[in-house]
Structure 1
């Protein structure tokens, strides 16, 4: 028996081509998905970066304001409760000044703390997005290399996109004669269905149908 115990080279090549095409389609789908994810990450990074600058400017301004208030209190000699007590005209006035200083200090400190917390949160988000972008770029490069490898394999096996499209099922044409079309009695229709499904528009068939390959 010819070929007994040996694989058919043509069949084996076709099987390798089919497997390679199937893998290539999956790689391309994943490559496109990663590309879209990368675009989304870039857009998110741009938005975060646009917020980071103004927020840092507010933090710096709050820090300067807090430092200026502390320096002014120190220069006026009211930085300690003793100095306040000495300069106060009465115990009630002293308590009022202490309450005012405490309120001012708390307000400045709380505002600065909130701004720094917002800045730290935004910085963390930026760092996470930056790391995600690096991973996505790496994945995109790996998929691109895999895509090139499979395409080279397909080329070595003698396959390409044109040849793949040429393997589609042949189209059949059906010729039908219609009574209502005396000037053009023969109507050619090309479609995938079998000739028995051909229809005559504008009248009933007057003769047998004939299936031919398109020429």
Structure 2
């Protein structure tokens, strides 16, 4: 039997090929990896920042447009009496124009009288000011005053059109950003459920990502899911009901007492309809408190022998007592 020795150059070639295959496989795995919950949240934060700028610009241009429309309305009211007088003069002008035609050899009087509107009539008859001043000097005065207001109105009409275009453009941008955020919210929820399933947890409800301080409070409380209820505990390994709310609010620099009753006393009391993510919900004659996360769901530390979990608002305590707000 003949044994063939493979040269060192050949071994190097095989090694390079094998290493390349590993790198390609790793690259393919990375390329196919879905973004994490955190990555989606970062994208939502970026979109929300862009949206805030667009909304501010939209609100500003809407206010500007409102003021412009008001100015146009005021000018139109001022312009109206002049238009009424010009309408009457339009009807009375025929003998004046005829006289000018007969004595001064003016052009086609019909073309002037059939101008089609008082505004056009004023423009055409202005050429008669010097000629017919002895007959109707008031025409020049009225046409001058009307033109002054009409010029101002024309300027405002142009401004209104420009502002309306900006408003429409910003509205379109707002719609696109909002739609993009909705898609990211859906993808984040899917990633959130995948992450929970990987830990053996089945979640029916995933709240929307909420930017800002309210979101920080909600996300902290949600991250404590699965940790046991322990009386008088406020983390990091276990919680009771008021201890969870206390620890969550601490994330945004709000200090609360370790008592549901005292927390209610410190809160701004709000109606159930006013609840927003990050608000507190109180139960059982102020013996229990939970944190609202949206869509009639709360996260809370229920009682001894259970763990921090998500429940429907009406299932988190025996009887709803009230709601309170710590984050304005």
| TM-score (norm: length of structure 1) | 0.54
How far did residue 187 of structure 1 move? 7.2
1:127 and 2:154 are equivalent in the alignment:
yes
Q: Which whole-Å deviations, capped at 9, do the CAs of 1:109-166 have from their partners, x for residues lacking one?
A: 5533222111111111121111211111111111111001111111122278763333
Greater relative contact order, per chain length (Cα 8 Å cut-off, separation 6+): 1
Q: Deviating runs (4+, > 3 A) in structure 1?
A: 8-12, 59-72, 105-111, 159-162, 186-191
Q: Provide the secondary structure at the position in 1 that maps to 2:257.
A: strand
1:166 and 2:215 are equivalent in the alignment:
yes
Q: Pick closer, same or farther for the CA change 1:187–1:52 going to 2, 3 Å.
A: closer
Q: Provide the secondary structure at the position in 2 that maps to 1:163.
A: coil
* TM-align CA RMSD: 4.1
The unaligned stretches of length 5 or more in structure 1 are 73-78, 80-104, 177-185, 192-212
Q: Pick closer, same or farther for the CA change 1:138–1:67 going to 2, 3 Å.
A: same
2:80 to 53, 59, 64: 53
Aligned residues: 154
| Distance in 2 separating the partners of 1:36 and 1:12 | 36
Q: Which whole-Å deviations, capped at 9, do the CAs of 1:167-199 have from their partners, x for residues lacking one?
A: 2472254349xxxxxxxxx974587xxxxxxxx
| Distance in 2 separating the partners of 1:130 and 1:69 | 34
| TM-score (norm: length of structure 2) | 0.38
Q: Which whole-Å deviations, capped at 9, do the CAs of 1:43-68 have from their partners, x for residues lacking one?
A: 11222222222112334556777776
The unaligned stretches of length 5 or more in structure 2 are 1-29, 104-131, 189-206, 221-247, 250-254, 267-290, 292-299, 302-328
